[in-house]
Structure 1
Amino acid sequence: MNVFDTQIHDVKLIQPQVFSDERGYFLETFQKERYEALLGCSLQFVQDNYSRSKQGVLRGLHFQKTQPQGKLIRVSEGEIFDVVFDRRAGSPSFGRWVGRILSSSNHHQLWVPPGLAHGFLVLSESADVEYKCTTFYNPSDEGAIRWDDPEIAIEWPLNGKPLVSEKDQNAPFWTTIK
Protein backbone atom coordinates (compact mmCIF):
# COMPACT_ATOMS: atom_id res chain seq x y z
CA MET A 1 0.00 0.00 0.00
CA ASN A 2 1.23 3.49 -0.85
CA VAL A 3 0.14 6.66 0.93
CA PHE A 4 0.69 10.11 -0.57
CA ASP A 5 0.35 13.58 0.93
CA THR A 6 -1.92 16.05 -0.87
CA GLN A 7 -1.96 19.86 -0.90
CA ILE A 8 -4.27 19.79 2.13
CA HIS A 9 -2.68 19.19 5.52
CA ASP A 10 -3.31 15.59 6.71
CA VAL A 11 -5.45 14.62 3.67
CA LYS A 12 -3.93 11.45 2.22
CA LEU A 13 -4.36 9.60 -1.06
CA ILE A 14 -4.14 5.86 -0.45
CA GLN A 15 -3.27 3.33 -3.14
CA PRO A 16 -4.05 -0.13 -1.77
CA GLN A 17 -2.14 -3.12 -3.06
CA VAL A 18 -4.29 -4.99 -5.59
CA PHE A 19 -3.71 -8.68 -6.28
CA SER A 20 -4.97 -9.55 -9.77
CA ASP A 21 -5.06 -12.70 -11.85
CA GLU A 22 -7.30 -14.34 -14.46
CA ARG A 23 -10.04 -14.82 -11.82
CA GLY A 24 -10.31 -11.13 -10.95
CA TYR A 25 -8.73 -9.20 -8.10
CA PHE A 26 -8.51 -8.84 -4.33
CA LEU A 27 -7.63 -5.83 -2.20
CA GLU A 28 -7.81 -4.93 1.45
CA THR A 29 -10.00 -1.84 1.88
CA PHE A 30 -9.19 -1.30 5.56
CA GLN A 31 -7.01 -2.85 8.25
CA LYS A 32 -6.91 -0.79 11.44
CA GLU A 33 -3.29 -1.28 12.53
CA ARG A 34 -1.83 -0.83 9.04
CA TYR A 35 -3.91 2.26 8.24
CA GLU A 36 -3.17 3.88 11.60
CA ALA A 37 0.56 3.35 11.11
CA LEU A 38 0.56 4.71 7.56
CA LEU A 39 -1.76 7.65 8.25
CA GLY A 40 -0.12 8.50 11.58
CA CYS A 41 -3.35 8.76 13.53
CA SER A 42 -5.74 6.69 15.60
CA LEU A 43 -8.83 5.51 13.72
CA GLN A 44 -12.11 4.45 15.22
CA PHE A 45 -14.89 4.19 12.67
CA VAL A 46 -18.46 4.14 13.97
CA GLN A 47 -20.52 4.39 10.79
CA ASP A 48 -20.25 3.21 7.18
CA ASN A 49 -22.11 5.10 4.44
CA TYR A 50 -22.93 4.10 0.89
CA SER A 51 -24.35 6.20 -1.93
CA ARG A 52 -25.22 5.53 -5.55
CA SER A 53 -25.47 8.52 -7.85
CA LYS A 54 -25.90 8.95 -11.57
CA GLN A 55 -23.59 10.81 -13.92
CA GLY A 56 -23.45 14.56 -13.37
CA VAL A 57 -24.60 14.41 -9.74
CA LEU A 58 -22.62 16.75 -7.50
CA ARG A 59 -22.88 16.24 -3.75
CA GLY A 60 -21.39 18.71 -1.27
CA LEU A 61 -19.55 20.48 0.11
CA HIS A 62 -20.65 18.93 3.42
CA PHE A 63 -19.28 18.91 6.98
CA GLN A 64 -20.37 18.48 10.59
CA LYS A 65 -20.06 21.75 12.54
CA THR A 66 -19.25 20.72 16.13
CA GLN A 67 -18.84 16.94 15.83
CA PRO A 68 -16.57 16.70 12.77
CA GLN A 69 -16.23 13.41 10.95
CA GLY A 70 -13.09 11.86 9.61
CA LYS A 71 -13.85 9.89 6.44
CA LEU A 72 -12.14 7.12 4.53
CA ILE A 73 -13.63 7.31 1.04
CA ARG A 74 -13.57 4.78 -1.79
CA VAL A 75 -15.50 4.04 -4.97
CA SER A 76 -16.72 0.46 -5.41
CA GLU A 77 -18.21 1.08 -8.87
CA GLY A 78 -17.73 3.95 -11.31
CA GLU A 79 -15.66 7.13 -11.08
CA ILE A 80 -15.88 10.41 -9.18
CA PHE A 81 -13.96 13.64 -8.81
CA ASP A 82 -13.61 13.82 -5.03
CA VAL A 83 -13.01 17.23 -3.41
CA VAL A 84 -11.85 18.26 0.05
CA PHE A 85 -11.89 21.88 1.25
CA ASP A 86 -9.88 22.91 4.32
CA ARG A 87 -12.14 24.98 6.57
CA ARG A 88 -10.04 24.42 9.71
CA ALA A 89 -8.91 27.74 11.18
CA GLY A 90 -5.21 27.60 11.95
CA SER A 91 -4.48 24.83 9.44
CA PRO A 92 -1.47 25.45 7.16
CA SER A 93 -3.76 24.74 4.18
CA PHE A 94 -6.77 26.76 5.45
CA GLY A 95 -8.97 27.98 2.57
CA ARG A 96 -7.52 25.61 -0.04
CA TRP A 97 -9.06 22.64 -1.83
CA VAL A 98 -7.79 19.45 -3.42
CA GLY A 99 -9.49 17.16 -5.92
CA ARG A 100 -8.66 13.58 -6.88
CA ILE A 101 -10.16 10.97 -9.17
CA LEU A 102 -11.37 7.95 -7.22
CA SER A 103 -12.65 4.99 -9.20
CA SER A 104 -13.36 1.30 -9.12
CA SER A 105 -10.54 0.82 -11.61
CA ASN A 106 -7.79 2.76 -9.78
CA HIS A 107 -8.96 1.55 -6.29
CA HIS A 108 -7.67 4.76 -4.70
CA GLN A 109 -8.99 5.91 -1.34
CA LEU A 110 -8.95 9.33 0.26
CA TRP A 111 -8.46 9.93 3.99
CA VAL A 112 -10.28 13.11 5.01
CA PRO A 113 -9.52 14.08 8.62
CA PRO A 114 -12.20 15.63 10.84
CA GLY A 115 -13.09 19.28 10.24
CA LEU A 116 -12.90 19.45 6.46
CA ALA A 117 -15.69 19.94 3.91
CA HIS A 118 -16.19 17.17 1.38
CA GLY A 119 -18.00 16.73 -1.92
CA PHE A 120 -17.85 14.82 -5.18
CA LEU A 121 -18.96 14.88 -8.81
CA VAL A 122 -19.93 11.65 -10.59
CA LEU A 123 -17.99 11.28 -13.84
CA SER A 124 -19.14 7.80 -14.92
CA GLU A 125 -22.65 6.65 -15.88
CA SER A 126 -23.18 6.00 -12.16
CA ALA A 127 -20.98 5.64 -9.09
CA ASP A 128 -21.19 3.73 -5.84
CA VAL A 129 -19.32 5.60 -3.11
CA GLU A 130 -18.52 4.09 0.28
CA TYR A 131 -17.06 5.88 3.25
CA LYS A 132 -16.23 5.03 6.81
CA CYS A 133 -16.86 7.80 9.38
CA THR A 134 -15.22 8.46 12.73
CA THR A 135 -18.34 10.02 14.30
CA PHE A 136 -22.06 9.50 13.84
CA TYR A 137 -23.95 11.68 11.39
CA ASN A 138 -26.06 14.28 13.21
CA PRO A 139 -28.56 16.14 11.00
CA SER A 140 -28.77 19.07 13.44
CA ASP A 141 -24.97 19.51 13.22
CA GLU A 142 -24.81 19.45 9.43
CA GLY A 143 -23.09 22.25 7.54
CA ALA A 144 -22.52 22.97 3.88
CA ILE A 145 -20.69 25.38 1.60
CA ARG A 146 -21.81 26.22 -1.94
CA TRP A 147 -20.17 23.88 -4.44
CA ASP A 148 -19.68 26.75 -6.91
CA ASP A 149 -18.39 29.37 -4.46
CA PRO A 150 -16.21 31.75 -6.53
CA GLU A 151 -13.87 32.45 -3.59
CA ILE A 152 -13.00 28.75 -3.30
CA ALA A 153 -12.98 28.33 -7.12
CA ILE A 154 -13.04 24.54 -7.32
CA GLU A 155 -12.21 23.40 -10.83
CA TRP A 156 -14.94 20.78 -11.18
CA PRO A 157 -14.53 18.75 -14.41
CA LEU A 158 -18.08 19.57 -15.48
CA ASN A 159 -19.69 18.54 -18.73
CA GLY A 160 -22.76 20.77 -18.58
CA LYS A 161 -24.70 21.76 -15.50
CA PRO A 162 -24.44 19.34 -12.54
CA LEU A 163 -27.40 17.76 -10.79
CA VAL A 164 -27.39 19.34 -7.32
CA SER A 165 -29.89 18.95 -4.48
CA GLU A 166 -31.91 22.01 -3.52
CA LYS A 167 -30.18 21.99 -0.13
CA ASP A 168 -26.72 22.06 -1.74
CA GLN A 169 -27.75 24.69 -4.29
CA ASN A 170 -28.92 26.93 -1.43
CA ALA A 171 -25.91 26.32 0.81
CA PRO A 172 -24.16 29.49 2.03
CA PHE A 173 -21.04 30.91 0.47
CA TRP A 174 -17.76 30.49 2.34
CA THR A 175 -17.44 34.22 3.09
CA THR A 176 -20.68 34.16 5.08
CA ILE A 177 -19.64 31.30 7.38
CA LYS A 178 -15.86 31.41 7.78
Structure 2
Amino acid sequence: MFFTRRSRFTVKLRVVAVVTGAVTAAALFAGSPANAQAKPYDHQDPYKSGCGNSARVVKSAKIKSRANGTVGTIKLMWSGKCKTNWTEIKVGTTMSGTISVYARDGRSDSFTYKAGNGGRHWGDMIWANNMCAWGSASVKWGGGRGGQNGSGTTGQACR
Protein backbone atom coordinates (compact mmCIF):
# COMPACT_ATOMS: atom_id res chain seq x y z
CA MET A 1 0.00 0.00 0.00
CA PHE A 2 1.30 3.43 -0.93
CA PHE A 3 1.14 6.22 1.69
CA THR A 4 2.09 9.77 1.14
CA ARG A 5 3.59 11.80 3.92
CA ARG A 6 0.26 13.54 4.41
CA SER A 7 -1.79 10.30 4.60
CA ARG A 8 0.58 8.75 7.17
CA PHE A 9 0.19 11.88 9.30
CA THR A 10 -3.62 11.62 9.01
CA VAL A 11 -3.53 7.93 10.04
CA LYS A 12 -1.33 8.78 13.06
CA LEU A 13 -3.78 11.51 14.10
CA ARG A 14 -6.68 9.07 13.89
CA VAL A 15 -4.82 6.50 16.00
CA VAL A 16 -3.99 9.14 18.61
CA ALA A 17 -7.62 10.30 18.65
CA VAL A 18 -8.91 6.74 19.11
CA VAL A 19 -6.43 5.99 21.91
CA THR A 20 -7.16 9.32 23.61
CA GLY A 21 -10.90 8.61 23.39
CA ALA A 22 -10.44 5.16 24.90
CA VAL A 23 -8.36 6.54 27.77
CA THR A 24 -10.93 9.27 28.42
CA ALA A 25 -13.78 6.72 28.41
CA ALA A 26 -11.87 4.49 30.84
CA ALA A 27 -11.29 7.44 33.18
CA LEU A 28 -14.95 8.40 33.07
CA PHE A 29 -16.00 4.81 33.73
CA ALA A 30 -13.67 4.58 36.72
CA GLY A 31 -15.43 7.57 38.30
CA SER A 32 -18.94 6.50 37.39
CA PRO A 33 -21.54 5.71 40.09
CA ALA A 34 -21.78 2.09 38.95
CA ASN A 35 -18.07 1.65 39.61
CA ALA A 36 -18.36 3.56 42.91
CA GLN A 37 -20.32 0.58 44.24
CA ALA A 38 -17.24 -1.64 44.14
CA LYS A 39 -15.61 -0.56 47.41
CA PRO A 40 -13.57 -2.72 49.77
CA TYR A 41 -15.64 -4.49 52.44
CA ASP A 42 -19.03 -3.24 51.16
CA HIS A 43 -21.85 -5.54 52.31
CA GLN A 44 -19.62 -7.77 54.46
CA ASP A 45 -20.14 -8.77 58.08
CA PRO A 46 -17.80 -6.63 60.23
CA TYR A 47 -17.05 -9.44 62.68
CA LYS A 48 -16.52 -12.24 60.16
CA SER A 49 -14.13 -9.98 58.20
CA GLY A 50 -12.13 -8.98 61.30
CA CYS A 51 -13.00 -5.28 60.91
CA GLY A 52 -15.09 -5.32 64.09
CA ASN A 53 -12.04 -6.20 66.22
CA SER A 54 -10.70 -2.64 66.02
CA ALA A 55 -14.02 -0.80 65.90
CA ARG A 56 -15.23 2.09 67.97
CA VAL A 57 -18.53 3.93 68.40
CA VAL A 58 -18.51 7.28 66.58
CA LYS A 59 -22.19 8.26 67.01
CA SER A 60 -25.04 6.90 69.09
CA ALA A 61 -28.69 7.69 69.66
CA LYS A 62 -31.82 6.30 71.28
CA ILE A 63 -34.35 4.16 69.50
CA LYS A 64 -37.71 5.57 70.52
CA SER A 65 -41.30 4.47 70.33
CA ARG A 66 -43.98 7.13 70.26
CA ALA A 67 -46.06 5.18 72.79
CA ASN A 68 -43.31 3.54 74.86
CA GLY A 69 -40.40 6.00 75.00
CA THR A 70 -36.86 4.67 74.64
CA VAL A 71 -36.81 1.04 73.52
CA GLY A 72 -33.15 0.64 72.54
CA THR A 73 -29.91 2.21 71.39
CA ILE A 74 -28.34 2.61 67.97
CA LYS A 75 -24.60 3.02 67.35
CA LEU A 76 -22.68 3.99 64.25
CA MET A 77 -19.46 1.99 64.29
CA TRP A 78 -16.14 2.85 62.60
CA SER A 79 -13.22 0.57 61.82
CA GLY A 80 -10.05 2.57 61.23
CA LYS A 81 -8.33 -0.61 60.08
CA CYS A 82 -10.87 -1.30 57.31
CA LYS A 83 -12.12 2.29 56.77
CA THR A 84 -15.74 1.12 57.14
CA ASN A 85 -18.93 2.01 58.99
CA TRP A 86 -21.86 -0.15 60.08
CA THR A 87 -24.78 0.17 62.45
CA GLU A 88 -25.32 -1.81 65.65
CA ILE A 89 -28.35 -1.82 67.92
CA LYS A 90 -29.34 -3.11 71.33
CA VAL A 91 -33.10 -3.71 71.74
CA GLY A 92 -35.44 -6.09 73.54
CA THR A 93 -35.03 -9.75 72.67
CA THR A 94 -38.57 -9.99 71.19
CA MET A 95 -38.01 -7.12 68.73
CA SER A 96 -37.32 -7.40 65.01
CA GLY A 97 -36.74 -4.82 62.29
CA THR A 98 -34.24 -3.28 59.91
CA ILE A 99 -30.77 -1.81 60.38
CA SER A 100 -29.28 0.51 57.73
CA VAL A 101 -26.04 2.39 57.14
CA TYR A 102 -25.52 5.17 54.59
CA ALA A 103 -22.48 6.86 53.03
CA ARG A 104 -22.52 10.40 51.67
CA ASP A 105 -21.70 9.15 48.14
CA GLY A 106 -25.05 7.35 47.95
CA ARG A 107 -24.05 3.82 48.89
CA SER A 108 -26.01 2.05 51.61
CA ASP A 109 -26.70 -1.32 53.15
CA SER A 110 -29.80 -2.62 54.94
CA PHE A 111 -30.12 -5.71 57.09
CA THR A 112 -33.35 -7.25 58.38
CA TYR A 113 -33.02 -8.89 61.78
CA LYS A 114 -35.28 -11.25 63.71
CA ALA A 115 -36.00 -11.44 67.42
CA GLY A 116 -33.31 -13.09 69.52
CA ASN A 117 -29.52 -12.82 69.73
CA GLY A 118 -29.90 -11.25 73.17
CA GLY A 119 -31.27 -8.14 71.44
CA ARG A 120 -27.86 -7.24 69.93
CA HIS A 121 -27.86 -6.89 66.15
CA TRP A 122 -25.61 -5.34 63.52
CA GLY A 123 -25.71 -4.78 59.81
CA ASP A 124 -23.09 -5.20 57.14
CA MET A 125 -20.41 -2.61 56.41
CA ILE A 126 -19.90 0.03 53.79
CA TRP A 127 -16.54 1.56 53.00
CA ALA A 128 -16.60 5.23 54.01
CA ASN A 129 -13.05 6.56 54.10
CA ASN A 130 -12.87 10.38 53.92
CA MET A 131 -16.65 10.81 53.86
CA CYS A 132 -19.65 11.12 56.14
CA ALA A 133 -21.83 8.18 57.16
CA TRP A 134 -24.85 7.63 59.43
CA GLY A 135 -27.10 4.81 60.56
CA SER A 136 -30.78 4.14 61.19
CA ALA A 137 -32.88 1.35 62.63
CA SER A 138 -36.51 0.41 62.95
CA VAL A 139 -37.99 -1.98 65.50
CA LYS A 140 -41.31 -3.66 66.10
CA TRP A 141 -42.70 -6.18 68.54
CA GLY A 142 -46.05 -7.78 69.24
CA GLY A 143 -47.17 -7.27 65.65
CA GLY A 144 -46.05 -3.63 65.53
CA ARG A 145 -49.53 -2.22 66.18
CA GLY A 146 -50.68 0.02 68.99
CA GLY A 147 -47.35 1.79 69.37
CA GLN A 148 -45.32 -1.41 69.40
CA ASN A 149 -42.75 0.03 67.04
CA GLY A 150 -39.97 2.58 67.04
CA SER A 151 -37.00 4.01 65.19
CA GLY A 152 -33.73 5.82 65.66
CA THR A 153 -31.08 7.56 63.57
CA THR A 154 -27.52 8.49 64.46
CA GLY A 155 -25.98 11.80 63.55
CA GLN A 156 -23.43 11.91 60.76
CA ALA A 157 -19.83 11.03 61.44
CA CYS A 158 -17.20 12.16 58.95
CA ARG A 159 -13.93 10.27 58.77
The bucket for the TM-score relative to the shorter chain is 0.3 to 0.5
Whose helix fraction is larger, Structure 1's or Structure 2's? 2
TM-score by length of structure 2 reads 0.34
The structure with the largest alpha-carbon Rg is: 2
TM-score by length of structure 1 reads 0.32
